[in-house]
Amino acid sequence: MYNLSYDMHCLEIDITYLCTLNCYNCDRMLSIAPGSKNENMRIEQIEKLVEQSVDYNYIWKRIRIMGGEPTIHPQFRNILKILINYKNNYNKNLRLEVATNGYGKLTNNEIVWIKNNFPQIHIENTNKKDNYQKDFTLVNMAPCDNYKGNRKCTLGNCLDKKLNCGLGLNYSGFYCCAVGGAIDRIFGYNIGIKSIANITVERIQQMHLLLCPKCGHCLPVKFSGTEIKNVLSPTWEKALKSYKERSTYLDFF
């Protein structure tokens, strides 16, 4: 049996790939491939998440709203209202979180709105000031370019070193983690799971086998203090070139 070392009942939702910053080595790849409004999650997709969660009695312990910068999503408040309603009516022990960079007037206005209207939502505000984040991993340094054949360095190796991120969800479906969804966005594997009913340990293992060898979190290598730029290994350079030549998006959830 595959040893899955994190909780499949925690979820990070990238509701948008638009952001107010352009941080170097962003692990949603937004500094090398800026997001589009076409990649915003629709209200109908959030409603679909809730509907499937109820229908399949899939009890989430934690749902974290992320991006990009989630507060700039045009339906941000409505998304929170839907999830609060789900919590109040179906999953009272659910922990709801919003992760924000805290940058800009609009974002800070939304933070105040959350505190005033939904104080039960936990806010993680990193208060970023610019595009240089010294604690960022060089996520675009693919382990498969450095440790060929070494599964220990590539297969979910980050999971014991980070907080329990759990599964990811973006406009294309569920992934082994949110970073995995961002990797698929660039590489174009189109492997997002479209139904909670199809989330299994085996499917998550298949994603790890494909995505972890591309993910710098599995090394990990951080800034030396002077690398104020995006760093890409050959696998990422090739994938980014192909991404820029494509005119289609991943299939929608």
First to last CA, the chain: 28
- Is the full-model pTM beyond 0.85? yes
Q: How far apart are CA 19 and CA 79, in angstroms?
A: 17
Query: What pLDDT digit, counting tens, does each position of 170-225 carry?
Result: 999 999 999 999 999 999 999 999 999 999 999 999 999 999 999 988 776 666 65
226, pLDDT greater than 70: no
Cα 1 from Cα 165, distance rounded (Å):
21
Q: What structural domains does the chain harbor?
A: 10-246 (3.20.20)
Average pLDDT (112-130) is 96
Helix (H, G, I), strand (E, B) or coil at 224: coil
> What is the rounded average pLDDT for all residues in the chain?
90
8 A C-beta contact, residue 121 and residue 97: yes
User: What are the tens digits of pLDDT across the range 4-48?
Assistant: 656 899 999 999 999 999 998 899 999 999 999 999 999 999 999
